[in-house]
Chains A and B, each alone.
Chain A
């Protein structure tokens, strides 16, 4: 069973479109995250949720809106996609916010044309 799963794995879309990436974890963790890995492979946190509550929102444009319907899911919706949004987006989870080990999904590669 995959611990942290995200869909879709690949997403190719036109500028201006709206798209969503879904993430689910079956580890029973309290905290979930979204990270962005740019073309230079640098990973940066975007959001973290703890027990469905937004904890970290790291200067991400308002076009990005995370939604956590329950502790096991954290989805990422992106409005009005721009070329610069092209990246690999990783979902992750941990048992606790500060001290827990992180488990990552396989990533969702978004290409905006």
Chain B
């Protein structure tokens, strides 16, 4: 059974800092990995999708890497802003096309 863990569970940083969020998964037989953000009371917004054959994806200040063999992914956020405050979730699509979500990292970027 696939298990997805995110560390840290919560993070508070001052504006302007670069930061890294971690995601690990137990079964490396995945089709892809996605990073989402969820704002309070809102749905999930897809940030980056990495297919199993890819090593990383970039979008603006965000960079996500994937090391399938070790079951790890990182989301790097450069020059953080207060608007980046949200919960960040990673999710992997594995066998039977099931998407398994991590527990999330709650990020607070302070002024």
Please report A residues at the B interface, Cβ cutoff 8 Å. 4, 33, 41-45, 48, 55-56, 58, 90, 92, 97-99, 101-107
| 8 nearest A-B pairs in the assembled complex, by CB-CB distance | A104-B43, A104-B44, A43-B101, A106-B43, A98-B31, A101-B49, A98-B97, A97-B97
Q: Does B110 contact A (CB under 8 A)?
A: no
Q: Closest CB-CB distance, B40 to chain A, in whole Å?
A: 10
17 pairs, CB–CB < 8 Å, chain A vs chain B: A4-B43, A41-B104, A42-B101, A43-B89, A43-B91, A45-B99, A45-B100, A55-B97, A99-B93, A102-B46, A102-B91, A102-B99, A104-B36, A104-B45, A104-B46, A107-B42, A107-B43
* Closest Cβ neighbor of B44 among chain A residues: A104
Tell me the B27-74 residues at the A interface (CB within 8 Å): 31-32, 34, 36, 41-46, 49, 51
Say if the beta carbon of B103 comes within 8 Å of chain A: yes
Please report B residues at the A interface, Cβ cutoff 8 Å. Answer: 31-32, 34, 36, 41-46, 49, 51, 87, 89, 91, 93, 96-101, 103-104
Asked whether, in the complex, the Cβ of B34 is within 8 Å of the Cβ of A102, the reply is yes
Pick the contact of A99: B41, B51, B89 (CB < 8 A).
B51
Complex formed: what's the CA distance from A44 to B100 in Å?
7
**Contact in complex: A101, B43 (CB < 8 Å):** no
Return chain A residues, CB-CB under 8 Å to B96: 56
A76 to chain B, nearest CB (A): 15
Q: Closest Cβ of chain A: how far from B36's Cβ, in Å?
A: 8
